[in-house]
Structure 1
Amino acid sequence: MGKVEEFEDLRPLLFSIAYRILGSVGEAEDAVQETWIRYDASPTRPVSAKAFLSATVTRIAIDVLRSARVRREEYVGAWLPEPLLDDPYEDPARAAELADSVSMAALLLLERLSPLERSVFVLREVFAFGFDEVAAAVGRSETACRQLLVRARRHMHAGRPRFAADRQERQELASRFFEALERGDMDGLRSLLSDDVRLVGDGGGKAPQLAKVVAGAENVARLLAALCPLLARIDVTFAPHEVNGQPGAVFRDRDGKVLHVLALDVLDGRIRTVRSVINPDKLGHLGPVADVWAVDRELRRVRRRTP
């Protein structure tokens, strides 16, 4: 097998590693491309292409993350990961772990870790790499990696609720949520939300966004029930779609361009968090992006005309 074929076989794994470390589709794709450039330029073939390429993409991602953290500290409003509709890497034996690890809740917890802790956690806990492979990838001893993993596990397990509902239960709950959303049914929405539900929006200062996090079932249900019928009046549509391994939906304008993506966290039979990514810089990988400001102006005109 040639280098190109070898690399393409491993590309899904490399992207999935990079995305979990970086939380950005664009940055992950760039890291994978840089990995190929280095692999192609290498004068010798490694004993294990998987080990070499995984280590390379991890080191690149660590360097990118260190610089990205400065930008994220200066980010306008709430920062959310770029939505991922389909994880290209599949491993039936670890399907549950893979879906859980790519959820927005998990990625936001990973943001609390140092780049090294984050990388060690992803390689070991998510992809089950041996400690020798993890150590080679991050340039630390196996003992140091074990210590990094202990710290990472402590942070992750302290803050992350397990998505206990099975896939079918989550999808059924999400289906009821989106049906109520389409009808503007406030009572129906409220019955599906946890009492302490939070609605978080990410516009990055580049799109209309929530001034603050909306908290509580009553407030979230009222906002969603009022907004979606108005969006329908300007021909904004949505289609349910799995987002980061959890239920969600993609909203599009009348021309079919991506307006924003909604992702749901489900816990104990209720929706605990609703996350909306509307920053156009985070949606380009999903297709042509809508002019969100034009949509907002049209929405305001509709509101003024509504009795």
Structure 2
Amino acid sequence: MVSRAEEFQELRPLLFSIAYRLLGSVSEAEDAVQETWLRFAASPARPESVKAFLSATVSRVAIDVLRSARVRREEYLGPWFPEPLLADPYQDPQRSAELADSLSMAALLLLERLSPLERAVFVLREVFGFGFPEIASAVGRSEAACRQLAVRARRHVEAGRPRFEADRAKREELAGRFLDAFREGNVDGLTELLAADVQLVGDGGGKAPQWAERFTGAQAVTEVLATLMPLFARIAAQVQPHPVNAQPGAIFRDRAGGVISIWAFDIADGQIQNIRTVSNPEKLGHLAPVADAWTALREAERAADA
């Protein structure tokens, strides 16, 4: 007979994926999954459907966390982005498109506009395909109320749904060209890949060097990138192409391999539409050892003065 621990471990990837989409935080999602295990282990009776029980439990835990997190995010210094995720542990071939689209930075930021209940209903229904009876149990509302929440959430999401290049290979190829141009200091090569209204936005949280919160337009973004290229070159930074939240992206490391920042790209119509960077060290620790970005910046400045 399969033990509770074995059943839980089998479903852990699904539970994390639900919690991450609700919270936009790897650390908070992991905490929600752990709390779900504690409640499952302490439950005196074995649920009829372990998957339904655990999914409902992790959703309820995440909703409670999300309600308090919204206040903290309103007080956050500068733009707030989700903690970057390099790979989704949960795979479902039948829902691969929904899973990938819902994981992007753009989609997660769009979900931030929903109420906690709307967000939970939308994620459980539209992303993971749960039925309304299961969703009603998870969020503590009637099926009719959940259907209304789903309609409202879907309307909000459809109104702001991000556009992505349909061909994933083309997205990766264009991002690769962009990163090659960045490494080589090829300003013209960068400029031709940027949409006219491209945006560059950074999340440093006041805990890492931050050039500014937001730049809009190809010229402004090119000027910022042209300033950054020699700084990264002076510290021998490594630029590692890597998917970020199921979209093209890159990991920037110092010469010792510590993570300096994560970049994520939105690509559509053959051009880069958005560049989002995360350099807040509190959001990078789950990836690898984090570099001291302030030390790296001082090293780059000393090299420039030498």
TM range (shorter): over 0.9
Q: Post-superposition shift, 1:94?
A: 1.3
Find the aligned partners of 1:251 and 1:174 in 2 and give their Cα distance: 14
Find the aligned partners of 1:4 and 1:295 in 2 and give their Cα distance: 44
Q: Deviations over 1:175-200 (max 9, x none)?
A: 11111111111111111111100000
- Give the partner amino acid of 1:132: P
- Give the partner amino acid of 2:120: S
Q: Which residue number corresponds to residue 261 of structure 1?
A: 262
Query: What aligned pairs does 1:148-187 form with structure 2 within 5 A after superposition?
Result: 148-187=149-188
Q: Which residue number corresponds to residue 76 of structure 2?
A: 75
Indicate whether 1:138 and 2:151 are aligned.
Answer: no
Q: CA contact under 8 A between 1:59 and 1:137: conserved in structure 2?
A: yes
Q: Which residue number corresponds to residue 231 of structure 1?
A: 232
Q: Which residue number corresponds to residue 124 of structure 2?
A: 123
Indicate whether 1:37 and 2:69 are aligned.
Answer: no
Give the direction of change, closer, same or farther, for the CA distance of 1:144–1:212 in structure 2 (3 Å limit). same
Q: Deviations over 1:122-150 (max 9, x none)?
A: 00000000011111100001111111111
Q: Deviations over 1:214-263 (max 9, x none)?
A: 11111112221331232122111110000000000111111111111000
Q: Which residue number corresponds to residue 92 of structure 1?
A: 93
Find the aligned partners of 2:298 and 2:214 in 1 and give their Cα distance: 22
| Structure 1: gaps of 5 or more residues | none
* Alignment coverage as a number of residue pairs: 305
Give the secondary structure class of the aligned counterpart of 1:27.
Answer: helix
Find the aligned partners of 2:128 and 2:167 in 1 and give their Cα distance: 21
Find the aligned partners of 1:121 and 1:155 in 2 and give their Cα distance: 10
- Give the partner amino acid of 2:47: P
Indicate whether 1:249 and 2:250 are aligned.
Answer: yes
- Percent identity of paired positions between Structure 1 and Structure 2: 68
Find the aligned partners of 1:135 and 1:13 in 2 and give their Cα distance: 19
| Structure 2: gaps of 5 or more residues | none
Find the aligned partners of 1:207 and 1:234 in 2 and give their Cα distance: 16
Give the secondary structure class of the aligned counterpart of 2:113.
Answer: coil
Q: Deviations over 1:8-57 (max 9, x none)?
A: 00000000000000000000000000000000011111000000000000
Give the secondary structure class of the aligned counterpart of 1:113.
Answer: coil
Q: CA contact under 8 A between 2:99 and 2:127: conserved in structure 1?
A: yes
Q: Which residue number corresponds to residue 51 of structure 1?
A: 52
Give the secondary structure class of the aligned counterpart of 1:255.
Answer: coil
Give the secondary structure class of the aligned counterpart of 1:209.
Answer: coil
Q: Which residue number corresponds to residue 283 of structure 2?
A: 282
Q: Post-superposition shift, 1:292?
A: 1.3
Q: CA contact under 8 A between 1:19 and 1:28: conserved in structure 2?
A: yes
- Give the partner amino acid of 1:7: F
- Give the partner amino acid of 1:29: E
Give the secondary structure class of the aligned counterpart of 1:300.
Answer: helix
Indicate whether 1:101 and 2:102 are aligned.
Answer: yes
Q: Post-superposition shift, 1:92?
A: 1.1
Q: CA contact under 8 A between 2:179 and 2:239: conserved in structure 1?
A: no
Find the aligned partners of 1:121 and 1:89 in 2 and give their Cα distance: 18
Root mean square deviation, CA, Å? 1.0
**TM-score (normalised: structure 2):** 0.98
